Structure 1
Amino acid sequence: MEKIIQPMSGYLAFVLCILTALAAGYAFFAGWEVAGVILIVLFIFITKGIMIVNPNHARVLTFFGKYVGSVKQNGLLWINPLYGSHRISLRANNLNGQTLKVNDKMGNPIEIAAVIVWQVSDTYKAVFEVEGYQQYVQIQSEAAVRHLATSCPYDRMEDENADITLRDGGEKVNDMLEQELNARLAAAGITVKEARISHLAYAPEIAGAMLQRQQATAIVAARSKIVEGAVGMVEMALEQLSRKQIVTLDEERKAAMVSNLMVVLCGEKAATPVLNTGSLYQ
């Protein structure tokens, strides 16, 4: 588990380095060679412990293979010169995932990609729990996107009873992806700040057929509305003709009138009228 430590300020060590360097030079100049060697060794010892930690960076410290702690304090610092130090960035990173070709829940081949914003939250896990946390993030992110695609249908044309689809899920789909990524990357001390689907489409080999299917579905839905409206208009016309006693029609004439009105109202092109110059029954 991560352990935060607070090292000494490095400014005092920096001053001591300057003083020991000057003292060593004076000792050699005065002929005190033993004292000069000791001062040089002390200078190297102090200098090796000085380190600079930049903003949004950290150092993971070890002592002969044992984890000592992590330094997240910024500035000029001084640590035990015998400590090993591993530099790690705490800044947010963008992962623009590559477009993956995978089958959705219904078995249709689709193309999907995601953009992920992640950040190191536990330096101990990031350094010691996984081998190369950046590569770990990339591979696990790809696995999570693939799992999401196989868990949901592309749209409701394939599964009308689906609670969530990739196409219409919106924020729910993004939340599902973010939760799964956090669960997968927790072992590496990584926190996912945001995850969004950046590309979603049918694979090229079925894209044309699916487009035709969508167009057919839209046409059928539009025709259904047109027929529903046309039936209402015909019903209203017959009712008003009967109520106002404009003309009396037998059942055969009513059927002919209904047929003509439905053709006019439901036809794709404007109807061409035929004028009857005789009586109603000629």
Structure 2
Amino acid sequence: MYASHFGLRDEPFRLTPDTAFYFDYRAHREALNVLLLALRAGEGFVKVTGEVGTGKTLLCRMLMEALETSHETAYLPNPCLTGNGLRAALARELGLDLPRNLGQHRVLERIQEHLLHLAAAGRRVVVLLDEAQALPDESLEALRLLTNLETERHKLLQVVLFGQPELDERLAGSRLRQLRQRISFSHRLEPLDRAGVTQYVHHRLAVAGVPDRSLFGRRALATLHRASRGIPRLVNILAHKALLAAYGEGAAQISPAHVRRAALDTEDARRPASLRGWALAALGTVGLGAAAAALGAWLP
């Protein structure tokens, strides 16, 4: 689309969690350090929560890369699992080829045998669950029971839960108090502040091939921070649409008006506060739509 116009060799604001674009913001760096410290200490349960779009999945992938040489990792991105489904998914992630009609007791035995084999080889196993707030109580309880598997000195299985703030609300209830007591480390991801948004945009543009920091003007970045509330996913969506709007005009730099147009076209964005801002954004939305139509591309 607009890549050649702005001299980009890649799309800087894609929504896929690409570790090549990981931005080492202090909140994410602290979270990653907490996770690595807890896992190397052998803790059973660790939890990371954050609002939608704050970068939990990307953090999870960075953790998997960091653990690649020292741990076996099992990534479970699907929260819609029963207790039996969770054990089966874990077995598959561990490379176990189990018959479909194998009883659950035997499945658990096979998992334990494999975990003991890995422990004897010096390999610890970490299960990473994304969107953990949506996991049924039955599955969370099955997960807790799996962490009971241990040698005399070490847990055979460690678990990292990544979830939205609703996970904290669920864990606060009496039904999951046993699991809550097992969580030894917790971390909350916060949105980017204004300086963080500026650094984030500059970082992604540099990775995509444009180290020139003038592409997004200072006022445009301030508008981007207000409209996105510092949530990285919204920053990506709004920055992409602002680039699209500027491309449609043939502009060489992103202005606050381009960001306001993007905000008006984005459901969860904070809209311009003033009537004048609304009017400018509304007029510009026509240009944004025209650019999209001309490119034959759907806006995200």
Q: What interval of TM-score do these two structures reach, taking the shorter chain for normalisation? A: under 0.3
Larger Rg: 1
Query: TM-score of the superposition, structure 2-length normalised?
Result: 0.21
Structure possessing the higher relative contact order (Cα contacts under 8 Å, 6 or more residues apart): 2
Question: Between Structure 1 and Structure 2, which shows a larger proportion of helix residues?
Answer: 2
